Amino acid sequence: MKTYEYSKLGLENLTLVERSVPRPAASEVVVRFHAASLNYRELLFAWGLYNPNPRLPAVPGSDGAGEVTAIGGGVTRWKVGDRVCPIFMQGWLEGPLTPAKQGTSLGGGGDFDGTLREYGAFHEDGLVRIPDHLSYAEAATLPCAAVTAWNALVNVGKIKAGDTILTLGTGGVSIFALQIAKLHGARVIATSSSDEKLARVRKLGADETINYKTIPEWDAEVLRLTGGAGVDHVVEVGGAGTLPRSANATRVGGTISVIGVLAQGEGLNPLKVLMKTLQVQGVFVGSRQMFEALTHAVTVARLKPVIDRTFAFGQLRAALDYMHSGAHCGKIVIRLVD
C-alpha cells in the first residue's frame, strides 16, 4: 500500500512510500481509506510545533473514512463492508480526558499512525459508523473538527435554543459550530476577513456577520449586535491573539471554548475572566461517545459537511500549502479512492 510519512520533520520531508498492507490482530479490523481530511494540526506537526520529538518515521493525519476489509478474531462490532471512521484518540471511548487517553491520538507522532495511508488496522472499539447519507469524503471531515465543535457547544456549552454563539473565521471547526448551533435553534454571529466567505456562511444560516478586516474592533460590534449583553458562547479558534476580544464579546457568566492557536498576541488578562465570571474551557476533540452522539444528530438532521476543495492522494503537499494560505471555507479533503 501507499502511505505518506515523515522521516524527519519539515514539509519538504513528506514522502510517499510503500508499506505492507496490515493484517488484523485479535479484536482489530483493517480499514481501506477512501478519503481523509486535513486539520491545521498537520501543519503544526510538520513545523515541529505540535510534537517536537515524534516517533519517526511518522504517518500524519487524524481524520479519515473507509470500509472494513478484514476482521480479526473476536471482533463483534463490525463486519467486512461496513463504512467507518476512526476516532481521533483511539483510547478515549467515554468519560473525562486523561493523559493516557491523550497519548492515543492518530498521526501525532506517537504510537498510532495517521490516516494518510491506503489501509490501517484499528481496534474495533476505535471506530464509529458513518451516517448512511454521507459520502466517504463528507464523513472524513467529522472526526476532529466536527467532534470538537460538538464537544464545545453541546458538552461544554450546554447549548439551547435562543442562545447566541460567536464563531471566528471559516475553518472546519467554525463551520461545523455554525451548523451545530443552528441545529439547536441558536443565533450565530460569524466573523471572517472575507466578504465572499461571509456571504457563504450567511447561506449556511449565520444570522449576523462581521468582517474583522474592515471592523478591527469586532468585539464592540458583537456587543452592539447583542444590545450590549454579549454572546453566550464563543468558539475560540484564534488563541492568544483573539482571546481578549472574545472575552469582551462574551456575556457575564458566558463560556469561551478555547480550541485553536491560529493568532498570536499578548493573551487574556485574567481580571476580565474574574470580573465577568467567564468559563474559559480548553476543548481537545472528544470521545467516541461524543462522536456517536454527533453522528446521530447528523443523521436525524441530514446535515451535510461543507467541503471547500478536494485533492487527489498524490497532491497532499499542494493541499497542505492551500491550507496554509487560509483561502479555504470549510474542510479540505484528500481523495484516496477514485
Which run of H or E residues covers position 233? strand 231-236
Residues 129-153, mean pLDDT to the nearest whole number = 98
Is residue 203 a contact partner of residue 269, using CB atoms and an 8 Å limit?
A: no
- Is the per-residue pLDDT at 34 higher than 90? yes
Identity of the amino acid at 314: G
Write the CB contacts of 325 (distance below 8 Å, at least 6 apart in sequence).
none
Binned at pLDDT 50, 70 and 90, residue 240 comes out as confident
Judged against a pLDDT cut of 80, whether residue 319 lies above it is answered with: yes
> For residue 179, with 0-12 CB atoms within 10 Å meaning exposed, 13-18 middle and 19 or more buried, which class applies?
buried
Angle between helices 288-301 and 172-183 (to 10 degrees): 60
Tell me the CATH number for domain 146-282. 3.40.50.720
Q: How far is CA 301 from CA 191, 242, 293, 296, 297, in A?
A: 25, 32, 12, 9, 6
Q: Which three cell numbers stand for residue 64?
A: 479519515
Q: What is the pLDDT of residues 154-197, one digit of tens each?
A: 999 999 999 999 999 999 999 999 999 999 999 999 999 999 99
Sign of CA dihedral 194, 265, 142, 68: positive
Q: What percent of the chain has pLDDT over 90?
A: 94
2-141+305-335 has which CATH code? 3.90.180.10
Domain ranges of the chain: 2-141+305-335, 146-282
Confidence of residue 338 (pLDDT cuts 50, 70, 90): confident
Mean pLDDT score, 311-329: 96
User: Is there a contact between 144 and 42 (Cβ–Cβ < 8 Å)?
Assistant: no
pLDDT band at 239 (very low <50, low <70, confident <90, very high): confident
